[in-house]
Structure 1
Amino acid sequence: MELRQLEYFVAVAEEGGFGRAARRLNIVQSAVSQQVARLEREFSVRLLDRTTRHVRLTGAGERLLAEARLVLAATQRMSRIAGDIAAGGDGVLRLGTLHAPGNRIYRALNELATIAPRLQVRTRRLPPAERLTAVRSGELDAALIRALRSAADLEVLELWTDPLYVALPADHVLAGQPELRLGQLGSLPLRLAGRDANPPFQDLVTEGCRTAGIAPPTGPPFTTLQQTLTEIAEGPPSWTVFYEVAALPTVHRVAIRPLADLSVTTSLAVPPGPPRPALRHLLDALHRTAASGTGSVTGTGDDSVAGP
Structure 2
Amino acid sequence: MELRQLRYFVAVAEEGGFGRAAERLTIVQSAVSQQIRRLERELGLPLFNRSTRHVRLSAAGERLLVEARTVLAAADRTRQVAADIAAGTDGGLRLGAIHGPGDRLYRALVELAAGAPRLRVRLEQAPPTDRLAAVRSGELDAALVRAVTAAPGLRLIPVWSDPLYVALPADHALADEPLLRLEHLADLPLRLAARDGNPPFHDLVLDACRRAGTEPPPGPPFTSLRQTLIDIGTDAPSWTVFYEVSGLPPAPRTALRPLTGLALTTSLAVQAGPLTPALKRLLEALRSVASSEATGYRMGSGTYGLE
TM-score (normalised: structure 1): 0.91
Deviation, structure 1 residue 43: 2.2
Paired with 1:36 and 1:139, the residues of 2 have a C-alpha distance of 46
Rounded Cα–Cα distance in structure 1 between residues aligned with 2:221 and 2:22: 79
User: Is contact 1:103-1:298 (8 Å) kept?
Assistant: no
Q: Residues 146-295 of structure 1 correspond to what in structure 2 (within 5 A)?
A: 146-246=146-246, 249-294=249-294
Q: Work out the CA distance in 1 between the residues paired with 2:237 and 2:273.
A: 48
Q: Distance in 1 between matches of 2:11 and 2:223?
A: 71
- CA deviation vs aligned residue, 1:76-109 (integer Å, no higher than 9, x gap): 1111121121111222122111123231111111
Instruction: Render the CA deviation track for 1:187-239: whole Å, top value 9, x for unaligned.
Output: 22212222121121111101111011111222233232112212223333221
2:306 counterpart residue number? 307
Are 1:246 and 1:298, in contact at CA under 8 Å, matched by a contact in 2? no
SS in 1 for 2:102: helix
Q: Distance between the aligned counterparts of 1:231 and 1:61, measured in 2? A: 83
Amino acid at match of 1:18: F
| Corresponding residue for residue 121 of structure 1 | 121
**5 Å matches for 1:15-94?**
15-94=15-94
Asked if the contact 2:244/2:303 (under 8 Å) is kept, the reply is no
The Cα of 1:33 is off from its aligned counterpart by 2.0
1:127-142 pair list within 5 angstroms: 127-142=127-142
Query: Aligned partners of 2:39 and 2:303: how far apart in 1?
Result: 62
Tell me the distance in 2 between the aligned counterparts of 1:238 and 1:153: 39
Query: SS at the partner of 2:103?
Result: helix
Q: Deviations over 1:98-142 (max 9, x none)?
A: 123231111111111222232222222221111111111122111
Structure 2 contact 249–303 (Cα < 8 Å) conserved: no
Unaligned runs of 5+ in 1: none
For the residue of structure 1 that corresponds to 2:164, the secondary structure is strand
- 1:28-47 Cα deviation digits (max 9, x unpaired): 22222222222222222222
- 1:3 to 2:10 alignment: no
The aligned amino acid for 1:86 is A
**Structure 2: runs of 5+ lacking an equivalent:** none
Deviation of 1:65 (Å): 0.5
The number of residue pairs the alignment matches comes to: 304
Contact kept in structure 2, 1:88 and 1:116, CA below 8 Å: yes
Q: How many angstroms does 1:292 deviate by? A: 0.8
Amino acid at match of 1:277: P
d(CA) in 2 for partners of 1:281, 1:147: 23
3-state SS in 2 of match to 1:283: helix
**Distance between the aligned counterparts of 2:167 and 2:254, measured in 1?**
7
Q: Is the 8 A contact 2:245 2:306 kept in 1?
A: no
**Is the 1:93–1:122 Cα contact (8 Å) retained in structure 2?**
yes
Q: Deviations over 1:240-287 (max 9, x none)?
A: 110001266311121111111211111111121221211111121112
**What's the C-alpha RMSD, in Å, of the aligned pairs?**
2.2
Aligned-partner residue type, residue 291 of structure 1: S
215-224 or 199-208, which deviates more: 215-224
* Native 8 Å contact 1:103 1:294 kept in 2: no
Q: Which amino acid aligns with 2:184?
A: Q
Task: Give the 3-state SS of the residue equivalent to 2:73 in structure 1.
Answer: helix
Structure 1 residues 8 and 41, CA gap change in structure 2 (3 angstroms)? same
CA distance in 1, matches of 2:82, 2:303: 39
What TM-score, normalized by structure 2, do the two folds share? 0.92
Identity in percent:
63
